[in-house]
């Protein structure tokens, strides 16, 4: 797909996210909206995933499980999940739980939400694929607040130690978490140098620029001896002016007026990169 086609999909992904969260009156818009271009590029350009159950598929782990709406929305645009489920987010017995449930939806590879665990899950899948001499790849989306968890760094060591070149982590570096700025809660810098020191190949880009995403994944394909992390600088609440760079929108649903304003802004300005 070309960049414009991917941008249009990203616009629809954002609309779905807001519709889910507004209808549920609950959810996490900020970190879902920041990851839209990343998820769109993964599922529509990078990953080999023509079917969520194909044994030759690439695997995706949403380590920051609270951003489930961006995963659900992407799966909907991909045709793996029925859009009629949009109004059921966070409802009792719904497939669309507040965090992904692998027992409810084909295409959800792991039930996630306890922050810090997703990279270890990705490593386990990747190591098993290596032992079976399979070519499938594994991708994991991490939150920047999440990498304050010690388990992330244990997983980083393991991936490097075992040469898991089939693992790609993407860090959604929006700079905010539920309690405020990363540097105020628990500083994660120097983030590039840390991942390099743990034996990873590091690529840094703007996570909303599809052309930069394209170049990053092209570079990634040239690395065959170590795991790779793409540090994607993003904006929490991207494309909704009153949500952008606001920690208060980490886990708050828009009311009717805010929802209509957000949809209008996404229609006018979203998906232009």
Instruction: Enumerate the β-bridge partners of residue 143.
Output: 172
Q: Domains in the chain, ordered, with CATH? A: 3-269 (3.40.50.970)
Residue 75's nearest CA partner among 64, 85, 66, 63 is: 85
**95-151 residue pLDDT tens:** 999 999 999 999 999 999 899 999 999 999 999 999 999 999 999 999 999 999 999
- 121 neighbors 61 (Cβ within 8 angstroms): yes
Helices and strands, number each (H, E), in the chain: 10, 7
Take residue 114 and report the two structure tokens written for it: 């306890």
Nearest Cα to Cα of residue 116 among 156, 74, 160: 156
Q: How would residue 270 be classed by pLDDT, with cut points 50, 70 and 90?
A: low
Model confidence at 271, pLDDT cuts 50, 70, 90, reads low
| Per-residue confidence (pLDDT) for residue 269, from 0 to 100 | 77
CA 241 to chain centre: 21
pTM of the model: 0.97
Closest C-alpha to 38, from 217, 159, 184: 217
Integer Cα distance of 181 and 174 in angstroms:
9
**Per-residue model confidence (pLDDT) at position 181:** 97
């Amino acid at each position: 797909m070309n960049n414009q086609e991917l941008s249009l999909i990203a616009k629809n992904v954002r609309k779905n996210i807001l519709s889910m969260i507004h209808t549920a009156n609950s959810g996490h818009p900020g970190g879902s909206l920041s990851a839209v271009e990343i998820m769109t590029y993964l599922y529509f350009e990078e990953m080999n995933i023509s079917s969520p159950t194909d044994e030759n598929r690439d695997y995706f782990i949403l380590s920051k499980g609270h951003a489930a709406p961006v995963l659900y929305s992407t799966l909907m645009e991909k045709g793996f999940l029925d859009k009629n489920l949009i109004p059921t987010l966070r409802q009792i017995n719904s497939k669309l739980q507040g965090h992904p449930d692998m027992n409810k939806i084909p295409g959800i590879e792991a039930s996630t939400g306890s922050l810090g665990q997703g990279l270890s899950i990705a490593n386990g899948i990747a190591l098993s694929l290596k032992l079976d001499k399979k070519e499938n790849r594994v991708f994991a989306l991490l939150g920047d607040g999440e990498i304050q968890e010690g388990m992330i760094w244990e997983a980083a060591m393991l991936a490097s130690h075992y040469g898991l070149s089939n693992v790609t982590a993407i860090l959604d570096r929006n700079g905010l978490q539920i309690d405020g700025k990363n540097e105020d809660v628990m500083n994660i810098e120097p983030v590039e140098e840390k991942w390099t020191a743990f034996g990873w190949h590091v690529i840094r880009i703007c996570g909303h620029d599809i052309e930069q995403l394209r170049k990053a994944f092209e570079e990634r394909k040239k690395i065959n001896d170590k795991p790779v992390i793409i540090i994607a600088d993003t904006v929490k609440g991207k494309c909704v002016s009153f949500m952008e760079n606001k920690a208060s929108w980490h886990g708050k649903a828009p009311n009717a007026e805010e929802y209509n304003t957000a949809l209008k802004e996404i229609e006018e300005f979203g998906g232009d990169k």
